Amino acid sequence: MTPEHLVLSAEKSWVAVKDIRPGTRLLTKEERVVSTIAVSRLYIEQVFDPVNVANGALYDSGVLVSHNCSFLSTSYTLIRAEVLQALLPSLPIANTENGYCEFIEPIEDHTYVMHIDTAAGQGLDSSSFIIIDVTELPYKVAATYNNNRVTTMEFPQLIMTYARRYNLPWLMVEVMDIGRDVAHILFRDFEYPRFMATMTEKRLGQRLIFNSRNNRHLGLRMTSGVKRSGCAVLKALIENGQLVLNDYRIIQQLSVFIQRGSIYMAETGHHDDLIIPLIMLGWASLQPNFAEVTTCRALDSYIEMVKQSKENPVPIKPIYEEQPMPIGIFTNLGDNDDSAWLLD
């Protein structure tokens, strides 16, 4: 079982495997109460999640009763349910005990981006990064990292280790909190040469830049405007087959990434640490100067698809049938809204 997998407790509530301790009382399929003797961390080579379960969620897994993780959420997910069920993870070609998984070997002349989300390293949220090959469409997740124990001082060294492996990709750090420290260590101590920075303008909000202006930020602040526009692009990328996710952990987190008000976030009791870097990719790819990173922009492909559909009108199923969230159509919520520039 993976850490996020749910099994039925003796109190008839769901408990995640990561929260099970010696003495935890669980309920068997015969409704007997059993106590956990020990919990062992094993090397996970490949995992499977049953779909189309007869009763919609519950199934027998050996002695215990499990929850079908593909149907965890009771609310609208960012990605349509039928798309989530069709996403196929890949077996990593290499992984480590500290949470690193590699799916595609680095290629010398390919272009990569690396998006980073930092946590405190106290066993709660995880520090994570995703390395994505943006050389051509579809974009492909090449490597991922997810660890809730790595400290802020250790994380930059790990980032450098894997960044060097992937040709020093264009790098963007989420800098709302302790991520600022990680960004400054990478810039000052390691002299990282390829930062995707931002600057803030009163009317336009945050804009992607690559130069060394004095008023720049060494990363991206995850504001509500950034999250809305990033989620919209991420939805389009995945549902149109323009982003190959590979990692089962990403697919698992997407299955509980739900709408709350005007934004999306992880369902209570779950995490979205691997989704945040993908939202950052979505936001960055909307920026006009993302063309400085790659000549193959997903946004250009999407615009071309829209043009073709207008030139050759064919009845098609709307991409945003369940959650209306079209790219490029946003309401201006004020001067400080980071998506206001899209109205231009």
pLDDT digits (tens, 9 = 90+) for 245-258: 999 899 889 988 99
pLDDT > 70 fraction of the chain, expressed in percent and rounded: 78
Q: What whole-number distance in Å separates Cα of residue 311 and Cα of residue 317?
A: 17
Tokens for 274, please give them.
């691997």
86-90, 95-99, 287-291, 333-337: least confident range? 333-337
pLDDT at 56 exceeding the cut of 80: no
What pLDDT does 174 receive? 94
φ/ψ of residue 229, rounded to 5? -70, -40
Q: What whole-number distance in Å separates Cα of residue 179 and Cα of residue 32?
A: 47
Task: Report the chain's mean pLDDT, rounded to a whole number.
Answer: 82
pLDDT at 160 exceeding the cut of 80: yes
Binned at pLDDT 50, 70 and 90, residue 212 comes out as low
Output the CA angle 228-229-231, nearest 5 degrees. 65
Q: Span 81-343: which CATH code?
A: 3.30.420.240
CA 177 from chain centre, in angstroms, equals 18
141-149: average pLDDT = 95
What pLDDT does 321 receive? 40
Q: What's the whole-model pTM score?
A: 0.72
Residues of the chain with CATH 3.30.420.240: 81-343
Instruction: Rank 88-97, 104-113, 171-180 by mean pLDDT and report only the highest.
Output: 104-113
72-81, 195-204, 233-242, 269-278: least confident range? 72-81
Binned at pLDDT 50, 70 and 90, residue 104 comes out as very high
